[in-house]
């Protein structure tokens, strides 16, 4: 697949360099529990290149976080089982690698930023210790050097008075500062890819923008790939290059960010866009997609979205729509994508 | 922190006075005349009895007797028992034995208990876990005197793996090994279960997932991140238990003929030796209080979120 991204590509990045950094290919993951099998991911494919930001959008339970955890190799197995597909990093399938090989990728090549920094940071160690750990364990640095590097990192993510705060504990920081520490930790070893799982969801709205800008800026500077997982369409618009919309463990629409906003080709995406509150529609009732996300143990036959879809026909209840290619880098898993595309976005 | 310690030390004073007075009162209420008890069936010379009662302040009201006792105690004088031996000597003899016994039990409890707990917590639902759960349940259900006598008979007498009894006077480490294991077994079961629950719970904690995502080796994730956090509740239990191990060894000490504090108190109670009973219990109360303080301070070290104002 060709990448659409053109932002700040380093010089000399020819067609060879445009080969994706990470490719998720037809991934299937299920959770086997006592109550039954929940099919969390049912054939997800996406790719990210260096310097590119892919936003993965979806409700809770759509499989966006499970995909990320599978890429990181931190999925709880059991109950999770990978039942098919490949995750290629630099063309090599990580699912076939040994545990030790995968561990060496984690943190060094691919790192992750979690949603709630307060619970994601260890409460009994100072932030300095938790940052320094990256250098002492992976790089064999002395504790003293690692601490200096930690302070440097904290400066880079703009934590004021980093030198004085390096020995403070996570609970002594504000939410925004804690998330900056998470970002610093993810950046520590100059990874090639960062997965940010709802990095701003737990933050105040005013702080959200700051943290997001910081993340986007650092990503540009270092030409990293970024997978941004979110359910917030507002966050996505400014920073993402392309978007993958997930529903019930499938990608229902994939598109460059501007095209998706302008002309959604899947009823679900359209519904999401229409349910964004807009100032010029003040006083009107806010649109909401009717119904609830499906139970992953009983995903509806055919298109999983059909019970909630205003466009649904008989074929939607019997046949799973494939991801139709609309143009380069653009696809929709809807039988009636052309009809959806023609319709205007209400709101 | 310093102010907190001082406040806690000051709080120990009323607790100390309250507990010693209660014990004193209870022994007083046991009734029976300790002087006549010394003479058994022969009966004593009333003049001598009167003289003794005077000497030991036995005719004074309870509160006055207690006052005499506590002022002496604060001067480091534990008093003399009715047969004329200083109580302090008795304590000096009995406490080291009990402390040694408690140390053995404690070491076993910590090493084996935490080890088993970690193992079963990491492999929750697997065979090892089931085995540990069943095993600890058995240990918890069996009364100490059954466990003690069975262990003594098989491990001590029949198979001769351990020494079956201790010498009165000065018990050696090797003689205390089997009683130590028996004494520590119950606490061991509790520690194992507590650690297991704590580990299993923290395994799903976000920060453990973060540690894995950082690419740390599994060993480091478990010891530095998982175990460190999981041990906080266990340490609390261990601290309180160390006091209980010293005081609660009466049955075990009885079975293995260990001449420790438990036995001293037991004998003193049967002989109405109030000053010995109160002295020994007062010393135990002090140990309890100090252990509690140490645990609370350790808590602040283990968990920086706890701040003492």
Inter-chain CB pairs, A–B, below 8 Å: 69
- Is the peptide bond preceding residue A38 cis, with omega within 30 degrees of 0? no
User: How would residue A12 be classed by pLDDT, with cut points 50, 70 and 90?
Assistant: very low
Summarised one tens digit per residue, pLDDT across range A30-74 is: 888 888 888 888 888 888 988 899 999 888 888 888 999 999 988
pLDDT for residue B88 is more than 70: yes
User: How would residue B118 be classed by pLDDT, with cut points 50, 70 and 90?
Assistant: very high
Our CA-based measurement puts residue A121 at a distance from the nearest CA of chain B, in whole angstroms, of 5
pLDDT winner (highest mean) among A90-94, A159-163, A227-231, B194-198 = B194-198
pLDDT for residue B191 is more than 80: yes
Q: Is B36 exposed, middle or buried (0-12, 13-18, 19+ CB in 10 A)?
A: middle
Alpha-carbon distance B2 to A83, whole Å?
Answer: 58
pLDDT at res. B192: 92
- Among the residues of chain B, which ranges form H helices? 2-29, 34-39, 46-55, 62-74, 87-122, 127-141, 144-151, 173-203, 206-213, 218-220, 228-247, 250-255, 261-270, 274-302
**Which residue on chain A is closest to B231 by alpha carbon?**
A124
Q: Which residues contact A253 (CB under 8 A, 6 or more apart)?
A: A243, A244, A245, A260, A264, A265, A266, A268, A269, A331, A332, A333, A334
pLDDT at res. A6: 43
The answer to whether position B105 is within a domain reads: yes
Q: Are B23 and B268 in contact (CB under 8 A)?
A: no
For the segment A226-252, the average pLDDT, to the nearest whole number, is 86
Alpha-carbon distance A85 to A28, whole Å?
Answer: 6
Q: Among A267-276, B244-253, B275-284, name the one with the lowest average pLDDT.
A: B244-253
* One domain, residues B115 and B66: no
* One domain, residues B38 and B152: no
Q: Among B35-39, B147-151, B288-292, name the one with the lowest average pLDDT.
A: B35-39
Q: Among B120-129, B160-169, B232-241, name the one with the lowest average pLDDT.
A: B160-169
For the segment B210-231, the average pLDDT, to the nearest whole number, is 90
SS3 A17: coil
Chain A CB within 8 Å of residue B142 CB: no
Of B87, B111, B126, the position where a domain reaches its end is B87
Do the chains contact at A169 and B209, CB–CB below 8 Å?
no
pLDDT at res. B38: 64
pLDDT for residue A163 is more than 60: yes
- The proportion of chain B whose per-residue pLDDT surpasses 90, expressed as a percent, equals 13
* One domain, residues B171 and B109: yes
Do the chains contact at A122 and B209, CB–CB below 8 Å?
no
Q: Are A268 and A252 in contact (CB under 8 A)?
A: yes
**Residues from chain A contacting residue B215 (CB–CB below 8 Å):** 103-108, 137-138
For the segment A129-145, the average pLDDT, to the nearest whole number, is 90
For the segment B259-273, the average pLDDT, to the nearest whole number, is 82
Phi-psi label, residue B43: left if phi above 0, alpha if psi -120 to 50, beta otherwise: left
For the segment A250-273, the average pLDDT, to the nearest whole number, is 86
pLDDT at res. B36: 65
Of B87, B113, B146, the position where a domain reaches its end is B87
Do the chains contact at A104 and B305, CB–CB below 8 Å?
no
Nearest-CA neighbor of A88 among A63, A105, A74, A64? A105
**Residues from chain A contacting residue B229 (CB–CB below 8 Å):** 122-124
Smallest Cβ distance to B210: which of A104, A108, A114?
Answer: A114
* One domain, residues B228 and B247: yes
Q: Are A250 and A43 in contact (CB under 8 A)?
A: yes
Query: Could you tell me the domains of chain A?
Result: 22-240 (3.40.50.300), 254-342 (no CATH)
**Strands across the sheet containing A53-57:** A110-113, A193-197, A225-230, A53-57, A242-247, A250-256, A330-332, A324-327
pLDDT at res. A312: 80
* One domain, residues B80 and B105: no
Q: Tell me, what CATH number does B275's domain have? A: 1.10.3720.10
Is residue A258 within a helix (H) or strand (E), and if so which, with residue range? helix A257-262
pLDDT at res. A15: 41
Alpha-carbon distance B194 to B231, whole Å?
Answer: 9
Into how many domains does chain B fold? 2
Q: Which residues contact A220 (CB under 8 A, 6 or more apart)?
A: A7, A8, A51
* One domain, residues B142 and B282: yes
pLDDT for residue A145 is more than 50: yes
Do the chains contact at B210 and A122, CB–CB below 8 Å?
yes
For the segment A83-110, the average pLDDT, to the nearest whole number, is 88
Between B194 and A343, residue with greater pLDDT:
B194
User: How would residue A141 be classed by pLDDT, with cut points 50, 70 and 90?
Assistant: confident
pLDDT at res. B82: 66
Suggest the residue from B122, B124, B125, B207 to mutate for an interface test with chain A (most A CBs closer than 10 A). Answer: B207
In Å, what is the CA distance from A96 to each residue of A102, A107, A122, A155? 9, 19, 31, 38
pLDDT at res. A212: 85
Q: Are A254 and A329 in contact (CB under 8 A)?
A: yes
Output the six-digit token pair for A75.
């999925």
Nearest-CA neighbor of B274 among B25, B55, B86? B25
Alpha-carbon distance B226 to B221, whole Å?
Answer: 6
Summarised one tens digit per residue, pLDDT across range A196-219 is: 998 888 778 788 888 888 888 888
* One domain, residues B82 and B109: no
pLDDT at res. B172: 72
Do the chains contact at B216 and A137, CB–CB below 8 Å?
yes
Alpha-carbon distance A59 to B228, whole Å?
Answer: 35
Output the six-digit token pair for B108.
């076993």
pLDDT for residue A241 is more than 60: yes
Our CA-based measurement puts residue B122 at a distance from the nearest CA of chain A, in whole angstroms, of 13
User: How would residue A346 be classed by pLDDT, with cut points 50, 70 and 90?
Assistant: low
The answer to whether position B183 is within a domain reads: yes
Suggest the residue from A78, A118, A120, A179 to mutate for an interface test with chain B (most B CBs closer than 10 A). Answer: A120
pLDDT at res. B309: 45
Suggest the residue from A122, A135, A185, A198 to mutate for an interface test with chain B (most B CBs closer than 10 A). Answer: A122
Do the chains contact at B209 and A120, CB–CB below 8 Å?
yes
Residues counted in chain B: 309
Number of H helices, E strands in chain A: 13, 12
> Does the ipTM surpass 0.85?
no
**Which residue on chain A is closest to B227 by alpha carbon?**
A124
pLDDT at res. A91: 84
Domain that holds residue B18: 2-87
- The proportion of chain A whose per-residue pLDDT surpasses 90, expressed as a percent, equals 14
User: How would residue A8 be classed by pLDDT, with cut points 50, 70 and 90?
Assistant: very low
* One domain, residues B190 and B273: yes
* One domain, residues B229 and B96: yes
User: How would residue A10 be classed by pLDDT, with cut points 50, 70 and 90?
Assistant: very low
The answer to whether position B125 is within a domain reads: yes
pLDDT winner (highest mean) among A178-187, A290-299, B43-52 = A178-187
pLDDT at res. A129: 92
Alpha-carbon distance B89 to B21, whole Å?
Answer: 22
Of B52, B87, B122, the position where a domain reaches its end is B87
**Residues from chain B contacting residue A133 (CB–CB below 8 Å):** 214, 216
DSSP state of A9: P
In Å, what is the CA distance from B208 to each residue of A43, A227, B260? 29, 22, 45
User: How would residue A118 be classed by pLDDT, with cut points 50, 70 and 90?
Assistant: confident
Do the chains contact at B213 and A72, CB–CB below 8 Å?
yes
Between A332 and A12, residue with greater pLDDT:
A332
- Pair type for strands A36-48 and A53-57: unpaired
pLDDT for residue A22 is more than 80: yes
pLDDT at res. A5: 45
Q: Are B172 and B104 in contact (CB under 8 A)?
A: no
Smallest Cβ distance to B213: which of A74, A137, A138?
Answer: A74
Summarised one tens digit per residue, pLDDT across range B225-258 is: 999 889 888 988 888 888 788 776 778 888 888 8
pLDDT at res. B245: 84
Output the six-digit token pair for A333.
């898993």
Q: Among A199-203, A339-343, B254-258, B276-280, name the one with the lowest average pLDDT.
A: A339-343
Do the chains contact at B305 and A108, CB–CB below 8 Å?
no
Nearest-CA neighbor of B34 among B278, B251, B268? B268
pLDDT for residue A233 is more than 90: no
Smallest Cβ distance to B214: which of A119, A134, A169?
Answer: A134
* One domain, residues B98 and B64: no
Alpha-carbon distance A270 to A255, whole Å?
Answer: 13
For the segment A224-244, the average pLDDT, to the nearest whole number, is 86
Q: Among A8-12, B14-18, B250-254, name the one with the lowest average pLDDT.
A: A8-12
pLDDT for residue B272 is more than 80: no
The answer to whether position B308 is within a domain reads: no
The answer to whether position B309 is within a domain reads: no
* One domain, residues B116 and B253: yes
pLDDT at res. A56: 92
Residues counted in chain A: 347
The answer to whether position B238 is within a domain reads: yes
**Residues from chain B contacting residue A120 (CB–CB below 8 Å):** 206-207, 209-210
pLDDT at res. A79: 85
pLDDT at res. A275: 79
Do the chains contact at B216 and A133, CB–CB below 8 Å?
yes
Between A268 and A234, residue with greater pLDDT:
A268
* One domain, residues B62 and B105: no
SS3 A88: strand
Do the chains contact at B207 and A119, CB–CB below 8 Å?
yes
Alpha-carbon distance A112 to A72, whole Å?
Answer: 8
């Amino acid at each position: 697949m060709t990448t659409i991204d053109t932002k700040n590509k380093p010089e000399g990045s020819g067609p060879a360099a445009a080969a994706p950094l990470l490719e998720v290919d037809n991934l299937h993951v299920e959770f086997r529990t006592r109550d039954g099998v929940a099919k969390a991911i049912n054939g997800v494919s996406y790719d990210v290149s260096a310097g590119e930001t892919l936003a993965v959008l979806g409700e809770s339970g759509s499989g966006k976080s499970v995909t990320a955890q599978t890429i990181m190799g931190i999925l709880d197995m059991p109950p999770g089982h990978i039942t098919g597909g490949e995750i290629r990093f630099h063309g090599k399938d990580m699912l076939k690698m040994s545990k030790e090989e995968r561990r060496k990728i984690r943190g060094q090549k691919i790192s992750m930023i979690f949603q709630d920094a307060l619970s994601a940071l260890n409460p009994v160690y100072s932030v300095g210790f938790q940052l320094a750990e990256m250098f002492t364990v992976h790089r064999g640095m002395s504790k003293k050097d690692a601490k200096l590097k930690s302070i440097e990192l904290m400066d880079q993510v703009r934590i004021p008075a980093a030198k004085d705060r390096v020995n403070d504990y996570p609970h002594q920081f504000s939410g925004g500062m804690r998330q900056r520490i998470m970002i610093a930790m993810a950046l520590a070893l100059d990874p090639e890819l960062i997965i940010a799982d709802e990095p701003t969801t737990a933050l105040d709205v005013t702080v959200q923008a700051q943290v997001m800008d910081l993340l986007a800026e650092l990503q540009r500077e270092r030409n990293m790939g970024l997978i941004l997982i979110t359910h917030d369409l507002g966050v996505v618009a400014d920073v993402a290059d392309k978007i993958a919309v997930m529903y019930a463990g499938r990608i229902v629409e994939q598109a460059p960010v501007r095209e998706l906003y302008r002309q959604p080709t899947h009823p679900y995406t359209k519904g999401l866009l229409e349910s964004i509150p807009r100032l010029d529609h003040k006083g009107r009732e806010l649109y909401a997609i009717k119904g609830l996300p499906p139970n992953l143990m009983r995903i509806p036959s055919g298109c999983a979205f059909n019970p909630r879809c205003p466009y649904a026909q008989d074929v939607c209840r019997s046949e799973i729509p494939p991801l139709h290619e609309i143009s380069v880098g653009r696809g929709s898993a809807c039988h009636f994508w052309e009809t959806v595309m023609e319709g205007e976005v209400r709101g | 922190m310093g102010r907190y310690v001082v406040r806690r030390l000051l709080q120990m004073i009323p607790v100390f006075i309250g507990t010693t007075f209660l014990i004193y009162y209870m022994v007083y209420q046991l009734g029976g005349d300790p002087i006549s008890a010394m003479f058994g069936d022969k009966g004593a010379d009333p003049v001598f009895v009167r003289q003794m009662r005077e000497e030991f302040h036995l005719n004074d009201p309870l509160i006055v007797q207690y006052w005499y006792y506590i002022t002496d105690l604060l001067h480091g004088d534990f008093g003399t028992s009715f047969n004329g031996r200083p109580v302090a000597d008795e304590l000096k003899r009995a406490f080291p034995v009990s402390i040694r016994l408690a140390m053995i039990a404690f070491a076993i409890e910590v090493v084996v208990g935490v080890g088993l707990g970690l193992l079963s917590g990491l492999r929750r639902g697997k065979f090892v876990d089931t085995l540990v759960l069943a095993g600890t349940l058995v240990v918890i259900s069996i009364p100490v005197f059954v466990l003690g006598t069975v262990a003594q008979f098989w491990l001590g007498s029949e198979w001769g793996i351990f020494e079956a009894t201790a010498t009165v006077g000065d018990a050696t480490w090797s003689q205390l090994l089997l009683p130590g294991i028996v004494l520590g077994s119950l606490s061991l079961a509790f520690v194992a279960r507590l650690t297991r629950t704590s580990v299993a719970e923290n395994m799903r904690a976000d920060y453990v997932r973060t540690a894995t995502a950082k690419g740390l080796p599994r060993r480091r994730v478990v010891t530095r991140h998982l175990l460190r956090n999981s041990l906080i509740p266990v340490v609390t239990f261990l601290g309180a238990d160390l006091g209980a191990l010293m005081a609660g060894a009466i049955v075990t000490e009885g079975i293995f003929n260990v001449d420790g504090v438990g036995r001293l108190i037991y004998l003193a109670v049967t002989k109405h030796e109030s000053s010995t009973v109160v002295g020994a219990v007062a010393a135990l109360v002090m140990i309890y209080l100090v252990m509690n303080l140490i645990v609370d301070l350790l808590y602040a070290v283990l968990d920086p979120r706890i701040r003492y104002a």
